[in-house]
Structure 1
Amino acid sequence: MTSPFSPSHAADQSPMRFWGRGYDVPVNVPDWASLDTEINQRLRVGKGFSVATINLDHLVKLRADARFRTAYAAQDIVVADGNPIVWLSRLAGRRVALIPGSDAIVPIARMAAAQGKTLALIGSTDRALAGAKQYFEANIPGARVVATIAPPMGFDPTGASADTVLAALHDAQADVAFLALGAPKQELFAAYGRDKLPSVGFVSIGAGLDFFAGTQVRAPKWVRAIAMEWLWRAALQPARMVPRYAKCGLILPSETVNAIRLKLGGGPK
């Protein structure tokens, strides 16, 4: 497997890094053009990949979950998902583009379709997957969704239930699998599946498929444009999102220090 710290395009020799106790995560694909190049190259030669979209919530989880740290270290491609990641990167002198997982779905699906590759949708609910499948095949020329799998409650991303899903992907001859399992399950499953099915691309996308099916409503474009999607989500799901964002806020000071140290040529303290 290609090292997660050095994609084949070698776009950024000094990537933005996020440090915490026991981990060091780089944003190793800095912009949309690099993502396009990296994935198209891999699709062209039948080489699998795993894509993770790092955000503050992931940084919180990385501090507490050793399995998540191991899974993140196995990701081939890490992009910046969330404006705080982009802002911290700028503070560190490493400019990266905002690449939310939800926004990456259609571009990656188009890349796959253009090369005659097939798609699989994993996670969420049967209703959401059916709606997303219908959207893809109606709006992306050449898109073929060959598997839709909504794992049951208690799905183990590295156990027997994961093997069942991977066997279904193999039987369906899926080339790219979008994983809407939520963190850390989707990253754990991507790392596990990457070894079992080395020619498949695994893309972790959170709630992205639900937006296509209409089972969840994403913030309007103008809300996203002013970097307030987090507030929109908090208003819609306060019990779930407010505690999450509070934890994210608590790590901002240390990550700001990390960014400044990186700009000054230092490392983790």
Structure 2
Amino acid sequence: MKFWIRSYSISVNTPDWPTLKARLTQRFAEGRGFAIATLNMDHLVKLETSAVFQHAYNDHDIVVADGNPIVWMSHLASNPVELLPGSDLIFPIARLCAELDMPIGLIGSREASLNRAAMALREAVPNLKIVYQSAPTMGFNPSGPEAESILKAAQGSGARLCFLALGAPKQEVFAAYGRNMLPRMGFASIGAGLDFLSGDQQRAPLWVRKIAMEWLWRMLSNPGRMLGRYLRGFVVLPGHMIRSVVKSQD
């Protein structure tokens, strides 16, 4: 499923969990790194104006659909994909890493939140090896000296995959930087996923997610941060939906 943004395009190239699992398993077996991006409407808005974000997305090997509008548009374009939010991928990927004996790292959020998230992961996936944790300083440059130091420490720990909870576009820029610096390392951007695990943020109840209203829950929970984000998404959504319908008729 491809999305066009002026002169730039981005494709959801991994349509479902079985495909993602197979791709990760193969890359782990071959000793190859990867970066996973979770495309949503906020990303489409940011990709409109940020060349840095576009370049970062270009360095991602795997793109999944994180957001119901992305899924709906894929159906309009007759190229359906499944919903794979970053937060929902944490446990499946962690279980795969445990099964394949691939140590992981956690990067983002705050130290206390990382500790609680690590505890929750170990309880849910007992054989999982969490060998590295890092909470970058406020306002850190995702391709600067601190980022390089974090990546070297993650590599030294033996981690083969790092979950990144830094928010967009910082986590994607960091993942692209790490993908080029450490060709055997995997990176999965998961947004607020670690804070949900730690309890620092409360995720929408399952029934709210099932009726595709998690966006409303998040907006009402934090209107100062989320209202503008969702309004900007609503502005560009009709154009993307029209292009999806046109795509289905090609």
TM-score relative to the length of structure 1: 0.92
Post-superposition shift, 1:248? 0.2
Post-superposition shift, 1:141? 2.9
Higher relative contact order (CA 8 A, sep 6+): 2
Three-state SS of the structure 2 residue aligned to 1:186 is helix
Three-state SS of the structure 2 residue aligned to 1:147 is strand
Partner of 1:30: 15
Verify: 1:200 aligned to 2:185, yes or no. Answer: yes
1:229 counterpart (190, 214, 234): 214
Verify: 1:94 aligned to 2:79, yes or no. Answer: yes
Give matches, 1:134-153, under 5 Å.
134-153=119-138
Give matches, 1:151-230, under 5 Å.
151-230=136-215
Give the distance between the partners of 1:129 and 1:95, measured in 2 at CA. Answer: 35
Give matches, 1:125-140, under 5 Å.
125-140=110-125
One-letter identity of the residue aligned with 1:142 = N
Post-superposition shift, 1:262? 1.2
Post-superposition shift, 1:139? 1.5
Identity of aligned residues (%): 50
- Unmatched runs of 5 consecutive residues or more in structure 1: 1-15
TM-score relative to the length of structure 2: 0.98
Post-superposition shift, 1:184? 0.2
Runs of 4+ that moved beyond 2 A: none
Deviations 1:87-137 (A, max 9, x none): 011000011000000000110111111111101000000011000111111
Post-superposition shift, 1:47? 1.1
1:65 counterpart (27, 45, 50): 50
Give the distance between the partners of 1:119 and 1:113, measured in 2 at CA. Answer: 9
CA contact (8 A) 1:43 1:112 kept: no
Partner of 1:11: none
One-letter identity of the residue aligned with 2:30 = V
One-letter identity of the residue aligned with 2:95 = R
Give the distance between the partners of 1:47 and 1:201, measured in 2 at CA. Answer: 8
Post-superposition shift, 1:170? 1.3
Moved more, 204-213 or 36-45: 36-45
CA contact (8 A) 1:121 1:177 kept: yes
Three-state SS of the structure 2 residue aligned to 1:240 is helix
Give the distance between the partners of 2:149 and 2:188, measured in 1 at CA. Answer: 18
- Unmatched runs of 5 consecutive residues or more in structure 2: none
Deviations 1:140-196 (A, max 9, x none): 031011111000012111111110111111111111100000000000010110011
